[in-house]
Structure 1
Amino acid sequence: MIRTFLFDMGNVLAFFSHDKMCEQMGGLCGRSRAEIQKLLIESGIQWEYERGRLSPAEFHSWFEQTVGQSVDIQALQTAGSDIFELNSTIIPVLDALKTQGYRLVLLSNTCVSHFEFIWNEFEVLQRFDDYVTSYTAGAIKPDPAIFQCALEKIQCAPEEAFYTDDIVEYISQARLLGMQAEVFTDTETLISQLARREILV
C-alpha cells in the first residue's frame, strides 16, 4: 500500500528552460547564451549552487567576478529564476492525493533561488508536507545522500512510497532503494500509472 508520494519539481511540477536562464543572464552583461552556458552549466558552477555550496550572495559575487562587471543581485536572481511555467495539469492530481490522505514530499535538484521563485510565483509547493532539496541535502540526484534524506522524510517503508521524476537514472536509483517509481512523461501517463495501483485521481 502506498502512503507517500514523492514528486520531482523541474519538468514535473513546473517546466523550465536552462537556455532561457542563460539567455536572460547573458542579457545583463552583454554575453551570449552560449557564453553563459559555458561559464555556468559546463563549468559545473550551477550544480555547486544546487548542492548548496554557494549562497545567493556568493553566487552573485562569482557571477560579477566571472563576467567582469557589476550586476544588480535582484536582477540576476530574476534572470536566473524566471524560467518556469507551471504544469497546471498536475494540480488536480496533487489535490486528489491530499484529499485521500496521502503524504506529499518534494524531491528535487534545485537551488534556493529557484525554490523561492516557484514558491512565490505558483501555489504548488504549498501543497507538500515536506521537502528534500539538493541545496539543503548538500547532494544532487542521483547521489545516494539525497535519497537517504528522502527516506527519512517519507515516514513509511520504502516500498510504501511512490516517486515520479522525468530523469530515468533517478527513477532507477529510487527503485534500488525499494521505492515504487515511474518516469514522468506527462500527467495523463502518471494518472494511468496510479490507476494501475488502484489509486484514482
Structure 2
Amino acid sequence: MALLMGGLTSPPDSGSLPLAVSAMSHTFLFDIGNVIIAFDFGIAARRLAPHIEIPADEALEEVTQLSVPLEVGEISTDEFIELASDRIGFKGSPDFFRNSIADIFELNVPIVHFIEEQKKSGATLHLLSNTNEIHVPFFEANYPVFDLFEGRVYSHETKLMKPDPAIFEHTIAKLKLEPEKTIYIDDKLENCEAGKEAGLISIQYDLDDHESFLAEVTKYL
C-alpha cells in the first residue's frame, strides 16, 4: 500500500494531522476500476470467442487497444463496436457485442462498506475515472453504491485521461475541491503520483489488500 501526499513523504503524527482530514471535513475522490469494482476484459473475450474469427487472447488485445480512444472520447461507441468487430471478425449483433463488453465487473464489497460508512459520517464523495459510455450506464444501473457519489468526472466526457495533469486540474475546478482536504484513492501508482502533484492526498489501493488500505486511510480520519 502506497501513500502519497502533496508536499509530504510520510503521514504526519496524530498531533499534527492536516486540516485535510480534520473531523467533519472529509472529501474523497475515488477511482472506479479495481477500486470500487474489479474488471476483467478477459470475460468479454471469452464471451465473444464462439462468435469471432481469431483466438480469444488476440481478440482481447485488439479490444483493449481500441478501448483507449473510446475512453478518451476520440471515437464513439458505435465506431468502437464497428472497428473492434472488423478486427476480430465478429459477425454477431452490435447489442450482443456491447453487452459482452459491458458486463465485466465484480463489486468490491469491502470498499463499498467503507464508502457507505464514510457517507453516513457526512463525507463528500466524488468519482474520477478513465471509463467509457459502454461501462458507465452498466455500472451505474447495476451497483447502487454509485448513487452515493455527488460529483463525477469521466474521461470520455472530458476527453482527458489520467494521469494527464489536465484531468486533475479539470476535476479540482469542476468539483470545487480543496486538494489539501481531498483524499484521492486509485489503484495505479502513476495516477496517485499525478494526484499528488495536483496537491491531493493520494492513496494507492490494492484490490487484494484492503486491510492495508484501511490502516493507511484511518490515519487521516
Tell me the TM-score normalized by structure 2: 0.82
- Counterpart amino acid of residue 117 in structure 1: F
Partner Cα separation in structure 2 for residue 193 and residue 88 of structure 1 = 18
Q: Which residue of 2 aligns with 1:100?
A: 121
Q: Which residue of 1 aligns with 2:40?
A: 17
Partner Cα separation in structure 2 for residue 38 and residue 87 of structure 1 = 25
Q: Which residue of 2 aligns with 1:128?
A: 149
- Counterpart amino acid of residue 69 in structure 2: E
The reply to whether residue 29 of structure 1 matches residue 52 of structure 2 is yes
Question: How far is 1:53 from its partner?
Answer: 1.6
Cα 1:109–1:139, aligned 2, differ >3 Å: closer, same or farther? same
| Superposition CA RMSD, Å | 1.7
The reply to whether residue 40 of structure 1 matches residue 63 of structure 2 is yes
Which string of whole-angstrom CA distances, capped at 9 and with x for unpartnered residues, describes residues 104-148 of structure 1? 111111111111111122112111101111111102111122212
Give the secondary-structure state (helix, strand or coil) at the position aligned to 1:25. helix
Q: Which residue of 2 aligns with 1:148?
A: 169
Q: Determine which of 105, 109, 119 is the counterpart of 2:140.
A: 119
Q: Which residue of 1 aligns with 2:75?
A: 54
Q: Determine which of 177, 181, 197 is the counterpart of 2:202.
A: 181
Larger Rg: 2
Q: Determine which of 152, 166, 170 is the counterpart of 2:191.
A: 170
Does the CA contact (< 8 Å) of 1:103 and 1:154 recur in 2?
no
The answer to which of 156-165 and 19-28 deviates more is 19-28
The reply to whether residue 6 of structure 1 matches residue 22 of structure 2 is no
The answer to which of 31-40 and 112-121 deviates more is 31-40
Partner Cα separation in structure 1 for residue 85 and residue 131 of structure 2 = 22
Q: Which residue of 2 aligns with 1:139?
A: 160
Cα 1:27–1:114, aligned 2, differ >3 Å: closer, same or farther? farther
Partner Cα separation in structure 2 for residue 47 and residue 84 of structure 1 = 18
- Counterpart amino acid of residue 122 in structure 1: Y
Which string of whole-angstrom CA distances, capped at 9 and with x for unpartnered residues, describes residues 29-87 of structure 1? 2432222133222xx32100111122222212223333455431211111112111000
Q: Which residue of 2 aligns with 1:110?
A: 131
Kindly report structure 1 stretches of 4+ aligned residues shifted beyond 6 Å: none
Unaligned runs of 5+ in 1: none
Tell me the TM-score normalized by structure 1: 0.89
Does the CA contact (< 8 Å) of 2:127 and 2:152 recur in 1?
yes
Partner Cα separation in structure 2 for residue 110 and residue 146 of structure 1 = 13
Q: Determine which of 182, 185, 197 is the counterpart of 1:161.
A: 182
Does the CA contact (< 8 Å) of 2:183 and 2:201 recur in 1?
yes
